Amino acid sequence: MKTGRFAPSPTGRMHLGNLFTALLSWLSVRKAGGRWILRIEDLDPQRSRMEYARQIEDDLDWLGLSWDEGGVDGSGSHGPYCQSMRHDIYAGALDSLVATGLTYPCYCRRADILATQAPHQSDGRVIYAGTCRPRHLPVSGLADSGRPASTRICVPDEEIGFVDGVFGRRTANLTQECGDFVLRRADGAWAYQLAVVVDDAMMGVTEVVRGCDLLLSTAQQLYLYRLSGWTAPDYAHVPLLCNAAGQRLSKRDMSLNMAQLRTRFTPGQIIGRLAALAGLISGPESCRADELVGIFDWNRVPAVPSVIVE
């Protein structure tokens, strides 16, 4: 059965871009008669708040995007559905990855890593230079030196390819894109890359829909699927919504967040606007989400990195 999920981080009120992702994932699943999971990605304890998670639920309800499993109260057989409650599951998965001999403790601080960056690395991406990578692999277990260390995984120098539902064939070489990446931080926090793979695999997710800012993460995640022996889902990355100034919408910027939108528009007007941006209808006329199920088609979604909304 097709299983999709919406995996918001409860770090603020949702904006139109978050809703765009939610709507397209929901439509794709509903069209296939599948199951839609709401997973709360509250890995960052400093920024995540349960009240935001409750607002996300309320906003999805208001828009008519119903979920079959998950949410804060976590009904369903694959819970818990809040990442903050899944520590033991991530620990088990990390043990299996450590057993591959490809992980190692890393003592570099962020400042050290930035200091080793090539000057052309101007897009904010950080490529780990492998400072702590052991000379000989595989590594047997993680030696405990008593110092706090993050856990990194060695990446291969090869192209990892996949076919994205919107952007088509993509390939990435992890050595060039990010270098060995972190699975668990030195403060014990789980890295997004590990948690998202474990959760999607354990929850039986077959289709991941998310913003195209995460396109580059997909190869890292496919690599973890491969090492863990799990079947990877299909991926569809959707354009990011930007404001009139061309900046990507953010939860910090109040203009197009749900608190504002709900005072100015009906659910139908918001759904209609998103459906027009997705190429599903020609103009932003008001409609309900369930009215779009029949016409939903990934081929209509524009394969562009961003779309401006006024």
Give residue for tokens 């953010």. 250
Compute the least distance from the CB of residue 41 to ligand GLU, in Å: 4
Among the listed residues 27, 106, 174, 196, the single contact to ligand GLU using CB under 6 A: 196
**Left if phi > 0, otherwise alpha if psi is -120 to 50, otherwise beta: which for 168?**
left
Residue 7, interface with ligand GLU (CB under 6 A)?
A: yes
Compute the least distance from the CB of residue 184 to ligand GLU, in Å: 17
| Dist CA 156 CA 145 (whole Å) | 26
Q: Whose CA is closest to 272, among 223, 235, 309, 239? A: 309
Total residues binding ligand GLU (CB under 6 A)? 7
Q: List the x/- string, 60-89, binding to ligand GLU by CB under 6 A.
A: ------------------------------
Give residue for tokens 């599903």. 280
Among the listed residues 3, 9, 48, 243, the single contact to ligand GLU using CB under 6 A: 9
Give 129 or 225: the residue with its C-beta nearer to ligand GLU: 225
Give 9 or 150: the residue with its C-beta nearer to ligand GLU: 9
Which tokens in the block code for residue 104? Answer: 């190692």
**Phi, psi values for residue 99, rounded to 5°:** -65, -15
Q: Which range of residues in 2-10, 236-244, 250-258, 267-275 is near ligand GLU by CB under 6 A?
A: 2-10
Give, in order, the Cα–Cα distances in Å from 116 to each of 48, 153, 156, 205: 31, 19, 20, 37
Among the listed residues 15, 30, 184, 210, the single contact to ligand GLU using CB under 6 A: 210
Residue 195, interface with ligand GLU (CB under 6 A)?
A: no
Q: What is the DSSP letter of 75?
A: B
Q: Do the strands 159-164 and 150-153 form a parallel or antiparallel pair, or are they unpaired? A: unpaired
Give 7 or 94: the residue with its C-beta nearer to ligand GLU: 7
Residues in 23-62 at the binding interface with ligand GLU, rule: CB under 6 A: 41
Among the listed residues 3, 4, 8, 28, the single contact to ligand GLU using CB under 6 A: 8
Q: Which range of residues in 4-12, 119-127, 143-151, 153-161 is near ligand GLU by CB under 6 A?
A: 4-12
Q: Whose CA is closest to 179, among 121, 237, 235, 226? A: 121
End-to-end CA separation in angstroms for the chain? 37
Among the listed residues 32, 89, 189, 214, the single contact to ligand GLU using CB under 6 A: 214
Give 41 or 69: the residue with its C-beta nearer to ligand GLU: 41
Compute the least distance from the CB of residue 210 to ligand GLU, in Å: 4
Residues labelled as active-site residues:
251
Compute the least distance from the CB of residue 33 to ligand GLU, in Å: 22
Are 41 and 5 within 8 A, CB to CB?
A: no
Q: Do the strands 69-70 and 35-38 form a parallel or antiparallel pair, or are they unpaired? A: parallel
| Dist CA 310 CA 306 (whole Å) | 13
Are 2 and 34 within 8 A, CB to CB?
A: yes
Residues forming the site for ligand GLU (CB under 6 A): 7-9, 41, 196, 210, 214
